Structure 1
Amino acid sequence: MDDDLIDSSELPLERRSVLPGTGFFYPDSLDEDRSEERAKAAIDGADAVVVTDSDADGLGCVALIRELYDAALDVEPFLDDIEARLADDDGGAVDSTMDDTDDADAEAADTPDSAVGLIAAGPHSLTESLEYVAAYAEPGLDVYVCDIAPDEYASIAEPLEAVLDLSDRVAWYDHHQWPEEAADGVRDAGVDLVVGDSDEECSTDVTLRSLDYEFQDRFTELAAVTRDHDLWINDDPRSKDLADYAFWTDAEEYAAVVGAYGASLPQPVTDYISHRRVRKNQLIEKAVDRAAYKSVGPWTVGVTYGRCSQNEVADELQAAGADAAVIVKPSGSASIRGGENFEQAHLVARQVNGGGHPKAAGCKPDIYDDMMDYAYHWTTKGETTKRVILQAFERVAEEMAADDESEGDDADADADDEADQ
C-alpha cells in the first residue's frame, strides 16, 4: 500500500478529522513485535521496570520512581530534539500518528537507557506487558505497575505470579475503580497494591505518598497539577499543558522533562505545545459541530465523532446542556464523560468492552469484524458505535430504575413492619 494513503497529515481538515492516524493501520503483529522489542530493551540491565499507562498520570509515576532510583535521563538531548522539530515547522515528527491513538507512546530514536525501564501499556495490553517482564527480567528486578486497573484477576494471574516469583519487590499504584475480586487477587498474590480514592487522588499522588523517599517540591507540585487534569478539576492551566504534552510526545521524553522541571515546563516545550494546539483546536471545533443530543433515561447525552481531544470536546458538550458526553473516535473506540448529574460512565463502558471512572471511562465495542465495518464506521461517522453505546446507556438507566424501585419496595416493607409493631 502506498504510504501516502495512510498518512493523513496533509489531508484537508474535514477529511483528516474523520480518519484515524497512521498508527491505526499498522497490523497488530508488527506492533506486537515492536512492543516486545521495546519492552525487552527497557528491561535489559535495569534495576527496576515500570509498567504504566502512557498518559500524564502514568508517566508522572515514572518520573517519581526514576527519582527514587537516581535513574532520570538527561533532559538536554530531548530539549534539543524539540527545538529541531519546531524548526522543521511540521507540528512535530510524530504528528501523523498521534491524533487518534489510545496509547500515545511514539517511538523515540536512540533513547539512552535508564536503570528504571519504562513499558507503556494500557488495560488491553497489560497482560502482554506483564508477560514481557516475566520472560525477560533477571531475578531480583523491582517491578511497579502504575495507573492501570485490570478488569479481572484471572486475565493477569499467570504472568503476575511469574513476575512475583522472580522479583524482590512488586508494587502497584493506581486510583481507578477496581473490581473487588481483582484487588483481592492481586493482594493475595503478594503485590503491594495501593489504590487511591479516584475522587481525591491521581496515580501520581498515590505513588508519591507510597514511596519511602523525600521528594523535592517540584514532584509534589507535579502530582498536584497532574491531579488537576486527571480528576477534571481544571483550576490550574498548566494541567492541560501536561496532558497535551504527554499525548503528543514520546513517553521517555515526557518522563525526562517533568522529572527535571516538574509542572513548570521549559520554553521549548511550551512553544511546541502552542504549535500543536492550532490544529488541535480546529479538530475540537469539527467534533463539537457534529454533536447530537439524545434523551436517555434521566440524562441528556451529547454524542459526537471525530479525531479530537475528547476532554475539551466533552466540556463543550456539557456546557451546551449534556449530562454525559460520548466521543466516538475513528479508531473505533470511544470516550464517555460525566459530571455532577452523571456518575455512571464506568458502568456504561463495562457494557461495551471497557471501564474506567464514574465520571470518565473508555471502551471499544466488539463490532468490527473486517475492514468493511471500519469503512462504514468512517463514512457514517461512527453510526453503529454511537447506537451501541446509547443502548448501553439505556440498560444502565433501566438497571438504576429497577434498583430504585426495589429500594422503594424495601422501604415500604420496613414502614409496614414498624406500623405492625
Structure 2
Amino acid sequence: MEDELIDTAGLSISRKSQLPGTGFFYPDSLDEDRVEERVAEAVDGAEAVVIADTDADGLGCVALIREMYDATIEWATFEADVEERVDRWERDAPADDDADVTEEEEDRPRSTVALVGAGPYSLDEALENVAEHAPAGIDLYVCDLCPDEYAWIEDELAAVDAVADSIVWYDHHQWSDETAERVRETGVDLVVGESDEECSTDVTLRSLDYDFAEQWAELAAVTRDHDLWQKEDPRSDDLADYAYWTDPEEYVAVVGAFGVDLPPIVEQYIEHRRVEKEKLIDAAVSRAELKRIGPWTVGVTYGRCSQNEVAEALREKGADGAVVVKPAGSASIRGSEGFERAHEVAGRVNGGGHPRAAGCKPDIYDDMLDYAHHWTTQGATAKRVILRAFEDVASEADDVRSEDEVDDTTEDE
C-alpha cells in the first residue's frame, strides 16, 4: 500500500474527519513489538516506573512523581523540536500525526522515573511489559487508569508485584468494590478520589509524601478544570490540547518546568493546531442528529474530533447526552446534569468511565470490510449499537421508577 493512501494530512477537513489517523493502519502485531521495545528502553536502569494514561491528567501525575524524585527531563531537550514544528505549521505543512513530533526518541536523555503510556484497553499489556523488562526493586506507580475487572489484570499484576519493591495506584475513576478490594489484597497502595471532585493529579498531589511548591497545586487545579469539564479556567484547554497533540515526554517536561504558564513557543504551536481542531469540531457538529430515548435527548455524531467540545455544542442544541463515534471504531459518551449514566451505557458496549464521561469500543469489527462500512456510513452500526444501549439503560431506569412508585403507594395504604 502506498504511503499517501493512509496519509490524511493533505485531505479536505470533511474527508480527513471521516478517516482514522495513519497510526490506525499500523498492524497490532508490529505495534506491540514496537511498544515493548520502547518500554524496555524506557525502564532500563530506572529507579521508578509510572504507568499512566497519556492525557493531561495522567501526565500531570507523572510530572509530580518526577519532581519528587528530582528526575524531570530538561525543557531544552524539546525546545528546538517545538520551534521546528511551529515553523512547519506556519509554512502550512502539517503532518498527519496524533503526536506531532519530529525528534528521534533515541536521541533524548531518559528520566530515571520511566513513563509507560497506557490506556484503558492496554493496561494489562503495560503491566506485563514492565514486569518483563524493569529492573528488580523499582517503585511502581499506576496513575489515572481503572481496570473494568480484576481478572483482566490479575496475572500481570502478580508478575509485576514480583519485580517491584512497592506498587502505588492513584486514580479518580469509579471502581467497583470488588476490583478495588482485590487490588488492595495484593499489597497495592490504592488511592481512589471522588470522581466528581478530584482528578488523578489531585489525588497524586495530596498522596505523595513530598513538599511541593505552589505551582503544582495550580497545575492540579487547572488539570481538574478540564478533566471534570468545569470549564472555568481557559488555560485548562491549552493543557488538554497540548497533551493530546504532543509527545508525552515533552508534555511532562514542559509542565514540570513551567507549570500551567506554558512558554510562548508552545502557545504558538497550540494556536496553530487549534485552527484545524475547530474545523474538525464544526464538521462533526454539522453531522449530528438528535434522538429522543426515554427521558433523554441524545445527540449522536461521527468524526475525528475533540469529543468534549463537540459534546458541549450538542448540549447547547438541547442534548442531555452526546455520543461521538470515532473513525477508529471507539466512541465517547458524554452526559450533563440531565444525564448522569454515561458509564452505564458504555458498560453495555465494551467500555466504562464516569457518570458524565465514558468511552467504549463496540465489539462489531471482524474484518476490514466492517471498518470500510464504518467509514462509508459514518459509523452507522456503532451508532445503532450504542443507542440501543441507551434504550436499555432508559428501560432499566423506568423499571426502577415504577418499583419506587409501587413502594410509595404501598406505604400510603
* TM-score, normalised with respect to structure 2: 0.97
Q: Which residue of 2 aligns with 1:58?
A: 58
Distance 1:12 1:109, change over 3 A: farther
Equivalent residue for 2:253, pick from 256, 259, 262: 256
Q: What does residue 206 of structure 1 align with?
A: 203
Match of 2:295 among 298, 312, 327: 298
Compute the RMSD of aligned alpha carbons: 1.7
Aligned residues: 412
| Whole-angstrom distance in 2 between the partners of 1:366 and 1:181 | 25
Q: Deviations over 1:354-404 (max 9, x none)?
A: 000000000010001111111111111111111110000000001111112
2-structure distance, mates of 1:93, 1:149 = 38
CA contact (8 A) 1:305 1:328 kept: yes
Q: 2:90 and 2:401 mapped to 1: Cα distance?
A: 55
2:369 aligned residue (340, 349, 372) = 372
What is the alpha-carbon distance in structure 1 between the residues aligned to residue 395 and residue 97 of structure 2?
40
CA distance in 1, matches of 2:326, 2:106: 28
Work out the CA distance in 1 between the residues paired with 2:108 and 2:175.
Answer: 34
**Letter paired with 1:237:** P
Give the superposition deviation at 1:411: 3.1
**Cα separation, 1, equivalents of 2:90 and 2:4:** 16
Q: Which residue of 2 aligns with 1:40?
A: 40
- CA shift in 2, pair 1:253/1:98, >3 Å: same
Task: Give the superposition deviation at 1:138.
Answer: 1.9
Match for residue 279 of structure 1 among 261, 276, 280: 276
Q: Is 2:326 aligned against 1:335?
A: no
CA distance, structure 1, for counterparts of residue 316 and residue 370 of structure 2: 33
Q: Who is 2:217 aligned against?
A: 220
- The CA distance in 2 between the partners of 1:237 and 1:80, in whole Å, is 26
Aligned-residue offset at 1:2: 0.2
3-state SS, counterpart of residue 337 of structure 2: coil
Give 1:304 deviation, angstroms.
Answer: 0.6
Residue matched to 1:79:
79
Q: Which runs of 5+ in 2 are unaligned?
A: none
The one-character-per-residue Cα deviations of 1:26-63 (angstroms, maximum 9, x if unpaired) are: 00011101110111111110000000000000000000
CA contact (8 A) 1:335 1:363 kept: yes
In structure 2, relative to structure 1, the CA distance for the partners of 1:122 and 1:92 (3 Å cut) is: farther
Determine the structure 2 residue equivalent to 1:98: 98
- Following superposition, the deviation at residue 108 of structure 1 comes to 3.9
Report SS of the residue matched to 1:301. strand
Q: CA deviation at 1:337?
A: 0.4
Q: Secondary structure at the match of 1:409?
A: helix
Are 1:18 and 2:15 an aligned pair?
Answer: no
Q: Which residue of 1 aligns with 2:312?
A: 315
Measured after TM superposition, the shift of residue 80 of structure 1 is: 1.6
Find the aligned partners of 2:92 and 2:202 in 1 and give their Cα distance: 30
Q: Classify the secondary structure of the residue corresponding to 1:166.
A: coil
Q: Secondary structure at the match of 1:300?
A: strand
Deviations 1:130-155 (A, max 9, x none): 00111112221000000000001111
Task: Report the residue type matching 1:98 in the other structure.
Answer: D
Please give the alpha-carbon distance, in whole angstroms, between the structure 1 residues aligned to 2:157 and 2:188: 9
Counterparts in 2 of 1:338 and 1:111: CA distance versus 1, 3 Å: same
One-letter identity of the residue aligned with 1:71: A
Aligned-pair distance for 1:93?
Answer: 9.1
Query: In the alignment, what sits opposite 1:193?
Result: 190
The Cα shift of 1:109 comes to 5.1
8 Å CA contact retained: 2:46, 2:138: yes
Answer yes or no: is the 8 Å Cα contact 1:85–1:93 preserved in 2.
no
- Please, which runs of 5 or more residues in structure 1 have no aligned partner? 417-421
Cα 1:345–1:95, aligned 2, differ >3 Å: closer, same or farther?
farther
How far does residue 112 in structure 1 lie from its aligned partner after superposition?
A: 1.4
Equivalent residue number for residue 155 of structure 2: 158
Secondary structure of the residue aligned to 2:324 is strand
1:9 corresponds to which residue? 9
CA–CA distance in 2 between the matches of 1:92 and 1:163?
Answer: 46
Letter in 1 for 2:177: E
**Contact persistence 2:69–2:113 (CA under 8 A):** yes
Residue aligning to 2:239: 242
Counterpart for residue 419 of structure 1: none
Equivalences for 1:330-369 in 2 at 5 Å?
330-369=327-366
Once the two structures are TM-superposed, the CA of residue 77 in structure 1 deviates from its matched residue by 2.1
Aligned partner of residue 107 in structure 2, secondary structure: coil
CA displacement at 1:107 relative to structure 2:
7.7
Q: Distance in 2 between matches of 1:291 and 1:29?
A: 35
1:312-342 deviation per Cα after TM superposition (whole angstroms, max 9, x unaligned)? 1110000110000111110111000001000
Structure 1 CA distance, aligned partners of 2:195 and 2:104? 30
Residue from 108, 112, 129 that aligns with 1:132: 129
SS at 1:135 equivalent: helix
Alignment partner of 1:180 out of 174, 177, 180: 177
Alignment partners' CA distance in 2, 1:190 and 1:259: 30
Contact 2:88 2:94 in 1 (8 A): no
Is this contact kept in 1: 2:77–2:108, CA < 8 A? no
Q: Which amino acid aligns with 1:178?
A: W
Q: Give distance in 2, aligned partners of 1:398 and 1:111.
A: 54
Separation (CA, whole Å) in 2 of partners of 1:249 and 1:360: 23
| Residues 87 and 60 of structure 1: CA distance in aligned 2, closer, same or farther (over 3 Å) | same
Task: State the distance in 1 between where 2:46 and 2:159 align.
Answer: 18
Structure 2 letter corresponding to 1:290:
R
